[in-house]
């Protein structure tokens, strides 16, 4: 039986979400996504061959760590996500837990997810997806900034969020609305980016099969 896709699950979610919030708010988010696609990727985004930066991070208990410590000497799939408030993030992380993590473990590859949330928000993200891999907080988007993937909702979208009962800034450790573009980076054991997939449209995500293809290409390269 063919594996389901994140894209199909997103389409299914969007149908119900649009019906729930109505055409006015849906239009706000549609315009935001169109603007993000039109602007495209910033020039600052790290790509294949770039050295992986490090930064101080927090775990769900508020304990100090760094990306380097969490990666260790293993190849790593690094996922930037917006927060536990984002349904597309929850859907994606749950899929990665169920379908990607077991395949990575078989290959000796680590999976790590990072957002700018408070540790309490990280804890909520873990609970939402019953996640069994490291999920970390990146206060002030320092790591995301070094990867070049920081953005923020536009004013109209942020106002729509508040109509729905929340503000991104309330979830972030630094009290701002800055968030990362949803991104996946495959990092080799030497700390070099070997694959980068950054999504300016936050309703789209990197499929499990795409991540595994990049990981398997990395393994082929290291055995040559």
pLDDT single digits (tens) 73-82: 999 999 999 9
Candidates 213, 214, 183; CA nearest to 201 is 183
Question: Model pTM?
Answer: 0.94
* Residue 95 pLDDT class (50, 70, 90 cuts): very high
* pLDDT, tens digit (0-9, with 9 covering 90-100), for 134-178: 999 999 999 999 999 999 999 999 999 999 998 999 999 999 999
Band the pLDDT of 203: cuts 50, 70, 90.
very high
CA dist 179 and 40 (Å) reads 16
Please count the CA atoms within 13 angstroms of the CA of 166 that sit on its side-chain side. Answer: 11
Q: Are the CB atoms for 75 and 215 separated by under 8 Å?
A: yes
Residues 6+ apart with CB under 8 A from 90: 84, 125, 128, 129
Q: Tens of pLDDT along 11-65? A: 999 999 989 989 899 999 999 999 999 999 999 999 999 999 999 999 999 999 9
Residue pair 169/161 in contact (Cβ under 8 Å)? The answer is no
> What confidence score (pLDDT) does residue 224 get?
46
Helix (H, G, I), strand (E, B) or coil at 51: strand
Per-residue pLDDT, 56:
97
Helix (H) or strand (E) holding 186: strand 183-187
Q: How far apart are CA 212 and CA 215, in angstroms?
A: 5
For all residues of the chain together, what is the average pLDDT?
A: 93
Q: Which domains does the chain have, with CATH numbers?
A: 6-223 (3.40.30.10)
For 204-222, write each residue's pLDDT tens digit: 999 999 999 999 998 766 5
- Give the C-alpha separation, 187 to 203, whole Å: 24
């Amino acid at each position: 039986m063919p594996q389901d896709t994140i894209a199909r699950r997103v389409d299914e979610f969007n149908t119900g979400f649009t019906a729930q919030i109505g055409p006015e708010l849906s239009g706000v988010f549609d315009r935001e996504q169109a603007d993000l696609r039109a602007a495209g990727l910033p020039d600052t985004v790290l790509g294949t061959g770039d050295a992986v930066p490090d930064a101080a991070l927090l775990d769900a208990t508020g304990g100090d760590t760094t990306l380097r410590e969490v990666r260790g000497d293993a190849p790593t799939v690094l996922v930037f996500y917006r927060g536990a408030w984002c349904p597309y993030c929850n859907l994606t992380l749950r899929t990665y837990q169920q379908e990607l993590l077991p395949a990575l473990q078989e290959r000796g590859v680590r999976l790590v997810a990072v957002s700018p949330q408070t540790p309490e928000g990280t804890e909520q993200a873990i609970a939402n997806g019953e996640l069994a891999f490291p999920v970390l907080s990146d206060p002030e988007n320092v790591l995301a900034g070094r990867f070049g993937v920081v953005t923020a909702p536009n004013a109209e979208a942020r106002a729509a969020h508040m109509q729905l009962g929340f503000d991104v800034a309330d979830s972030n450790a630094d009290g701002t609305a800055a968030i990362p573009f949803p991104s996946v980076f495959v990092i080799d054991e030497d700390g070099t980016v070997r694959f980068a997939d950054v999504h300016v449209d936050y309703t789209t995500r990197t499929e499990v099969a795409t991540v595994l293809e990049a990981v398997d290409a990395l393994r082929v390269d290291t055995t040559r």
